[in-house]
Amino acid sequence: MNLRLHIWRQAGPNDTGMLKTYDLANVSEHMSFLEMLDVLNEELIAKGEIPVAFDHDCREGICGTCGMVINGRPHGPLARTTACQLHMRTFKDGDEIYIEPWRAKAFPVLRDLVVDRGSFDRIIQKGGFVSVNTGNAQDGNTIPIGKPDADRAMDAAACIGCGACVAACPNSSAMLFTAAKIGHLASLPQGQAERSSRAMNMVLQMDTEGFGACTNHYECEAACPKGISAEFIAQMNRDFVASALGGKG
């Protein structure tokens, strides 16, 4: 298939970016979206032009690195699909595709489609852990966890930290990401000792990073490639209020 690509090009954080148009011919429907960009970059390099910078790593939909907005939707048009797992058979011959970076104050553009998501790391550093001595490996049955609790913890732990929730939210809120990280540990007995301080510290760091507030648009849930429920935001809010009042979540 033949495609016309409109890609955001920006040389650096302090430069003015713009959409630049490229025509790409003979794109196989079996390519992934990132493989298509690889082909484009090979053509640009052959012409002596600067290739398009974009984040990627595992290309298996589990690392959360491949963040880009495709035709106005984070990760593209398919639900619960990361950009690296999006295949070109989703498009058709002659399509025009607009490719842009995440748009958020807390995700400054570094170059082209690459943004700085260090703000997520700093939120995690404020409480996305448990402070316990691991010691020797325990028997699997010494800390019994009910299946509903285990399932809920795993649902939250599915978050890959890609930032699609932020890019989709009209307020650039990181509530779903932060709530998933808090909800994961809040669902397990190991996370109870620091549950109150975790919610307080991570939410305050989220606000410090410049993310917006949640106004219940649910775009975050719709854009999440792992289908994480916005119900975790409600739980996070309860834990935050409880912490502010000096109680437990």
161 and 221 share one domain: yes
| Residue pair 68/218 in contact by the 8 Å Cβ criterion | no
98 and 175 share one domain: no
Give the pairing type, strands 96-100 and 69-70. Answer: antiparallel
Regions of the chain short of the pLDDT cut 70: 134, 140, 247-249
Buried b (16+ CB within 10 A) or exposed e, 188-211: beebeebbbebbbbbbebbeebeb
pLDDT at 168: 98
124 and 221 share one domain: yes
* Count of CB atoms situated within 10 Å of the CB of 87: 18
Q: What is the mean pLDDT of the chain?
A: 95
71 and 158 share one domain: no
Q: How far is CA 97 from the centre of its chain?
A: 21
pLDDT at 55: 96
Tokens coding 192:
């109870």
pLDDT at 248: 55
pLDDT at 234: 96
pLDDT at 145: 87
- CA geometry: angle 161, 163, 167, nearest 5 deg: 170
Identify the CA nearest to 158 among candidates 83, 79, 225, 75.
225
Tokens coding 62:
């589990």
43 and 96 share one domain: yes
70 and 122 share one domain: no
pLDDT at 132: 73
Q: Which range marks the domain in which residue 68 is found?
A: 3-110
* Count of CB atoms situated within 10 Å of the CB of 156: 23
17 and 125 share one domain: no
Tokens coding 190:
């190991």
pLDDT at 134: 66
pLDDT at 71: 98
Tokens coding 17:
């970016």
- Model pTM score: 0.92
**CATH code of the domain covering residue 185:** 1.10.1060.10
Compute the distance between CA of residue 60 and CA of residue 82 in angstroms, rounded to an integer.
Answer: 9
